[in-house]
Structure 1
Amino acid sequence: MIAPLETLGISLPRLGLGTFRMQGAACQAAVENALALGYRHIDTAEMYGNEEVVGAAIAASAIARSDLHVTTKVWHDHLAPDALPRALDGSLQRLGLDHVDLYLIHWPAKDMDLPTTLSALIRTREEGKTRAIGAANFTLPMLRQAIEEVGAPIACNQIEYHVFLDQKPMLGYLRSRAIPLIAYCPLAQGQAAESDELARIGSKHGVSAAQVALAWLFDQEGVVAIPKAGRVISQRANLEAYSLALDDEDREVIASLPKQKRLVNPPFAPRWDTPIVQ
């Protein structure tokens, strides 16, 4: 296993289980199976509507809480200073936990007062309800403001990142601050598995195209990946991608792939630095 990343007092496993669009008994089973396989990083959010079953899976696992990393997120309509702590209390109740390891602003709101919102987020850390705080879907200017102007202890930025989307400016900034980038949609919503170029690299190494896409992320300093995987076979394959060593020829092929394919762009998203290709 690749060593976890240390960031602002927490240890962040470089492979996590994403749970977006996973619901009910199927979600609980997926989390239980992942934990049984050795996953120790589970990612959820209040908006996902699955915190309760994620919590049930954690409880059923009997894994020591100190050995497990749990991330959840506050939705963009709960960023007011009075609403944010209530949202976290609700998440903790549903998860059946007294704290999470990482609490993120899920999406920035267009009308939010960033310093005020961050102050409320920082207080949740001071109160022991989360061990660290961070951002998701922040642009580089937003992140700079949060860190350099507000002075918030941002432990990560969770953003879309995969072989078809360039994030070099963001990654460069995060590395300069020793802050991890957590990559969601690391398999490009299944498109990585359909890539002929990645399949050829995979054939050379005896692995799948999807495993190549994950290995490319693990090959990079400061990057964590949280692929959604409901089936045990997929969860195991994602774990096995840890041990795949890419060579320079592989990296050159991946570097030549299109890098402007953004797949997650809801109406409330900020204006991205990277052009959007539909």
Structure 2
Amino acid sequence: MSQATASHLQDSVTLNNGVRMPWFGLGVFKVQEGNEVIDSVKTAIKLGYRSIDTAAVYRNEEGVGQAIAEAAREYSVPREELFVTSKVWNSDQGYQSTLDAFDLSLKKLGLDYLDLYLIHWPVKGKYKETWKALEHIYKSGKVRAIGVSNFLAHHLEDLLTEAEVVPAVDQIELHPYLTRVETREFARSQGIQIEAWSPLAQGLVLKDPVVEGLAAKYGKTAAQVVLRWNLQSGIVTIPKSIQPARIAANAELFDFELSREDVAAIDALNRNQRVGSDPDNFNF
């Protein structure tokens, strides 16, 4: 990886509360606790990644925390340079249970504070109470920014009727087959930053003829083309990988730019096709 790429990995967007969040990071969904997650996170940090996204339900917060501690010792990357995200799981939603879940995540990660804490899913009848707990945590200074995950435009609209703090981030499934235009536009109107999970649709979009054609045109991989589309669309993105070569390759996004026409061609691939659950119909 080039030095230029490593420095670009620290490029950031300013959230609605003034906190800066890297545009690009590493997701660790389904990365196994222990050596697998430790090695993935350390590899990413060594390469220049500064944003790590985990969650209580991933059951790998302890490994993420160990990797952060080891990276500080071995690569001289202090905690202050990192942007660490975790999320409260559905079964812990509610006011006091969310406060307790946050403290447990912090303990498992071995950290004094988080950079971003999210409500993982919009559990009906609970997410407003949960948000009040996040606001309390935010005001206490234990987290630098708070936000939500898997909230569609109508969930955001409902939350904002009572929220004292506007969410800084909405992390949603977003890729060329699911472009979520309505939610993106509403979030933008409220100053909420959109972040994509599963930006490659678990590899589904990589075989698309349009994406393959653009990869050939730019001399890049299909994954690099899609991730570049995310960045040029103003979307924070956190692809997951456990392979060092792919963690490095995913970040090689800063030496090319898609034309306006090619961004539009990828936009046009939308078919409202999810690889994850429906935020309006989930039972977990």
Q: Tell me the TM-score normalized by structure 1.
A: 0.92
2:203 to 190, 197, 205: 190
Matches of 1:83 and 1:201, distance apart in 2: 47
Matches of 2:161 and 2:225, distance apart in 1: 36
Q: CA deviation at 1:81?
A: 1.0
After superposition, the CA RMSD in angstroms is 1.6
Are 1:13 and 2:22 matched, yes or no? yes
Identify the residue that residue 253 of structure 1 maps to in structure 2.
265
Q: Show structure 1 runs of 5+ residues with no match.
A: 273-278
Matches of 2:270 and 2:139, distance apart in 1: 43
Q: CA deviation at 1:148?
A: 4.1
1:100 to 114, 133, 138: 114
Identify the residue that residue 42 of structure 1 maps to in structure 2.
52
Identify the residue that residue 216 of structure 2 maps to in structure 1.
203
**Correspondences of 1:174-189 after superposition (within 5 Å):** 174-189=187-202
- Report the residue type matching 1:139 in the other structure: L
Identify the residue that residue 91 of structure 1 maps to in structure 2.
105
Q: CA deviation at 1:256?
A: 3.0
Q: CA deviation at 1:79?
A: 1.2
**Correspondences of 1:25-104 after superposition (within 5 Å):** 25-62=35-72, 63-104=77-118
Contact 1:47/1:75 (CA < 8 Å) preserved in 2? yes
Are 1:164 and 2:172 matched, yes or no? no
Matches of 1:145 and 1:253, distance apart in 2: 33
Mean alpha-carbon deviation: is it higher for 246-255 or for 41-50?
246-255
Matches of 2:162 and 2:256, distance apart in 1: 40
Give 3-state SS (helix, strand or coil) of 1:154's partner: coil
Mean alpha-carbon deviation: is it higher for 74-83 or for 1-10?
1-10
2:243 to 231, 235, 240: 231
**Correspondences of 1:105-120 after superposition (within 5 Å):** 105-112=119-126, 114-120=127-133
Contact 1:9/1:132 (CA < 8 Å) preserved in 2? no
Give 3-state SS (helix, strand or coil) of 2:216's partner: helix
2:31 to 22, 27, 49: 22
Give 3-state SS (helix, strand or coil) of 2:196's partner: strand
State the identity as a percent.
Answer: 38
Are 1:132 and 2:142 matched, yes or no? no
**C-alpha distance after superposition, 1:92-129 (max 9, x if no partner):** 111000110000001121231x4322111111111222
Matches of 1:175 and 1:111, distance apart in 2: 25
**C-alpha distance after superposition, 1:188-215 (max 9, x if no partner):** 1011222222111011111011111111
**C-alpha distance after superposition, 1:9-67 (max 9, x if no partner):** 32110111000000121111000000000000000000000000000000011121221
Give 3-state SS (helix, strand or coil) of 1:121's partner: helix
Mean alpha-carbon deviation: is it higher for 159-168 or for 247-256?
247-256
Runs of 4 or more above 4 Å deviation: none
**C-alpha distance after superposition, 1:143-166 (max 9, x if no partner):** 112224423331110000001112
Identify the residue that residue 165 of structure 2 maps to in structure 1.
152
Tell me the number of residue pairs that the alignment of Structure 1 and Structure 2 aligns. Answer: 268
Matches of 1:163 and 1:34, distance apart in 2: 25
Matches of 1:116 and 1:254, distance apart in 2: 38
1:216 to 229, 252, 269: 229
Q: Show structure 2 runs of 5+ residues with no match.
A: 1-7
Contact 2:166/2:192 (CA < 8 Å) preserved in 1? no
Mean alpha-carbon deviation: is it higher for 39-48 or for 9-18?
9-18
